[in-house]
A and B are shown apart, each in its own frame.
Chain A
Amino acid sequence: MKSVAVIGASLAGLYAARALRSQGFDGRLVIVGDECHGPYDRPPLSKGFLTGTTTDQGQLALADAEEIAELDAQWLLGTRATGLDTGGRTVLLDGGRSLTTDGVVLATGATPRLLPGPVPAGAHTLRTLDDAQALRANLSSSPVRVVVIGGGFIGAEVASSCAALGHDVTVVEAAPLPLVPQLGPAMAEICAALHADHGVTLLTGTGVARLHSGGIETRVTAVELSDGRLLPAEVVVIGIGVRPRTDWLTDSGLPLDDGVLCDAGCVTPLPAVVAVGDVARVNGVRAEHWTSATEQAAVAAQNLLAGSTVATHRSLPYFWSDQYGIRLQFAGRRLPTDTPRIVEGSPDDRSFLACYERDGRTTAVLALNRPRPFMRLRRELVNQALSA
């Protein structure tokens, strides 16, 4: 393989580029990214970057200048890929340019879902550094009323950060309880209680009908709920999930279904095209987590260089979240029928370890502020998975 193009210059793309080089690829490496920033880390955007503990953009950078130089790649930043030919050999770029290549890594991530209708000023989504900067600017003045639409992990983190900054925060969640798909009802309830601990109002079981904005100025003024209630707001954050960025691949012939479909080795039906990170549906599963993006990159690079699936991504799903000063960690594969059992600590102290069990076996583990025992159990689960 003489040349590889990585499309998406963020976490998964950078880790794939690194993996290609560390696995001996010495050909031409082109990295295309539509943001004008070099690779940066997204998790701090809803956490320290909003509250001001991670102020400097340099702290977000995923690679330093020395490493960028070592990668010896050609960076096309501020450039959007608009298409991939059906053989996977030509990547179309905006401005009518194109790139011919032997291998392609698809790492275009995901983009926030929006509410129908226009987005008035003061209403934000949070995916990119530019989004986070815009939101931060809106939060820097005197206390405002913030409505966070969506009570998932990003919504909860934003609510926590806004509350820490002294704003008046309401979270609106359409489901009867947030985070149930991820954690199951019992554990989700404990996590939902964190909002109230910190004076944040959680309204559940009601969707959002529309955003109101003021007359001449189009700034948001209120959120209208589907039951007709009106929540006045100066700032609104829309955290209702993401969709994978496969829009540019519709004519590529690649199978797309909520992600780029690929096998357990991140390989698409075209052996010279692999997919990694939030955009990839690997063996039927699309993960939206930091660790999956980095782990998939190594596997995908190996298979791309080999020309076929010689390695598969089998690692145990893992993610963390930081809310209200509490670190939440989850690992494993949980089914809705698995029963959580608290094995250490207590939910009352907001510090505990819970194992999800199926037929006497542990399938997943959740910790709030218990990193050490969490790590031990996570490793046990990994070993179990490897020996199964």
Chain B
Amino acid sequence: MIPVCPLADLPTGESVRIDTAPPIAVFHTDGQLYAIDDTCTHQDASLSDGWLEGCLVECPLHAASFDLRTGAATCLPARRAVRTHPVTVQDGMIYVHHAAEEGTAA
């Protein structure tokens, strides 16, 4: 379980990157928190810098789009999904459960 930041520090519409290996991006959409691998599967942009619209994040480099709920790439140029990671909030603190750490297939 990786502490991210206090929930109060991540308002709706914002995102934060945590320097795990590989890095993870955490997003706060309307009332929901999502975590996905931060690196776009197309080339090497950071998705936490992307444009958040509903449950989609658009890559800041060539505008591939990913569904935060599933990690699926919803438009080119990306073709592969990013991994998603479970997120919880405890005592006002956001935690990410690194999918690989939990023994889930990467």
Q: CB within 8 Å of B: which residues of A?
A: 18, 44, 62, 64, 67, 290-291, 294, 320, 327, 329, 371-372, 374-376, 379
Determine the distance from Cα of A79 to Cα of B50 in the docked complex, in whole angstroms. Answer: 40
Determine the distance from Cα of A290 to Cα of B77 in the docked complex, in whole angstroms. Answer: 11
Binds A, one of B1-9, B28-36, B41-49, B89-97: B41-49
User: Across the interface, which residues of A come within 8 angstroms of B62, CB to CB?
Assistant: 290-291
Instruction: Evaluate contact between B50 and A375: CB separation under 8 angstroms.
Output: yes
User: Across the interface, which residues of B come within 8 angstroms of A375, CB to CB?
Assistant: 49-51, 58, 60
Q: Known contacts A294-B76, A379-B51; can you find 15 more A-B pairs with CB under 8 A?
A: A18-B76, A44-B43, A64-B79, A67-B79, A290-B62, A327-B61, A329-B61, A371-B45, A372-B49, A372-B60, A374-B60, A375-B50, A375-B51, A375-B58, A375-B60
**Smallest CB separation, B62 vs chain A (Å):** 7
Contact of A371 among B43, B46, B77, B79 (CB under 8 A): B46
Q: CB within 8 Å of A: which residues of B?
A: 43, 45-46, 49-51, 58, 60-63, 76-77, 79
**Smallest CB separation, A278 vs chain B (Å):** 17
**Smallest CB separation, B98 vs chain A (Å):** 24
**Dominant SS at the B interface?**
loop
Determine the distance from Cα of A371 to Cα of B46 in the docked complex, in whole angstroms. Answer: 9
For the complex of A and B, the 6 pairs showing the least CB-CB separation, nearest first, are: A371-B49, A371-B60, A372-B49, A375-B60, A375-B51, A320-B61
Determine the distance from Cα of A294 to Cα of B98 in the docked complex, in whole angstroms. Answer: 35
User: Across the interface, which residues of B come within 8 angstroms of A329, CB to CB?
Assistant: 60-61
User: Across the interface, which residues of B come within 8 angstroms of A327, CB to CB?
Assistant: 61
User: Across the interface, which residues of A come within 8 angstroms of B76, CB to CB?
Assistant: 18, 294
User: Across the interface, which residues of A come within 8 angstroms of B77, CB to CB?
Assistant: 62, 294
User: Across the interface, which residues of A come within 8 angstroms of B46, CB to CB?
Assistant: 371
Determine the distance from Cα of A266 to Cα of B61 in the docked complex, in whole angstroms. Answer: 24
**Smallest CB separation, B59 vs chain A (Å):** 9
Most chain A beta carbons < 10 A, residue from B51, B60, B62, B79: B60
Look across to chain A and name the residue whose beta carbon is closest to the beta carbon of B46: A371
Determine the distance from Cα of A371 to Cα of B38 in the docked complex, in whole angstroms. Answer: 14
**Smallest CB separation, B87 vs chain A (Å):** 21
User: Across the interface, which residues of A come within 8 angstroms of B79, CB to CB?
Assistant: 64, 67
**Smallest CB separation, A15 vs chain B (Å):** 8
Determine the distance from Cα of A44 to Cα of B43 in the docked complex, in whole angstroms. Answer: 9
**Smallest CB separation, A383 vs chain B (Å):** 12
User: Across the interface, which residues of A come within 8 angstroms of B50, CB to CB?
Assistant: 375
Determine the distance from Cα of A62 to Cα of B77 in the docked complex, in whole angstroms. Answer: 8
User: Across the interface, which residues of A come within 8 angstroms of B58, CB to CB?
Assistant: 375
User: Across the interface, which residues of B come within 8 angstroms of A372, CB to CB?
Assistant: 49, 60
Determine the distance from Cα of A375 to Cα of B40 in the docked complex, in whole angstroms. Answer: 15
User: Across the interface, which residues of B come within 8 angstroms of A44, CB to CB?
Assistant: 43
User: Across the interface, which residues of A come within 8 angstroms of B49, CB to CB?
Assistant: 371-372, 375
10 contacts between A and B (CB under 8 A): A18-B76, A64-B79, A67-B79, A294-B76, A371-B46, A371-B61, A372-B60, A374-B60, A375-B58, A376-B51
**Smallest CB separation, A89 vs chain B (Å):** 31
Determine the distance from Cα of A376 to Cα of B61 in the docked complex, in whole angstroms. Answer: 12
Determine the distance from Cα of A379 to Cα of B60 in the docked complex, in whole angstroms. Answer: 11
**Smallest CB separation, B47 vs chain A (Å):** 10
Determine the distance from Cα of A44 to Cα of B49 in the docked complex, in whole angstroms. Answer: 21
User: Across the interface, which residues of B come within 8 angstroms of A294, CB to CB?
Assistant: 76-77
Determine the distance from Cα of A320 to Cα of B40 in the docked complex, in whole angstroms. Answer: 16
Look across to chain B and name the residue whose beta carbon is closest to the beta carbon of A375: B60
Determine the distance from Cα of A218 to Cα of B62 in the docked complex, in whole angstroms. Answer: 42
Most chain B beta carbons < 10 A, residue from A62, A67, A375: A375
Determine the distance from Cα of A300 to Cα of B100 in the docked complex, in whole angstroms. Answer: 44
User: Across the interface, which residues of B come within 8 angstroms of A67, CB to CB?
Assistant: 79
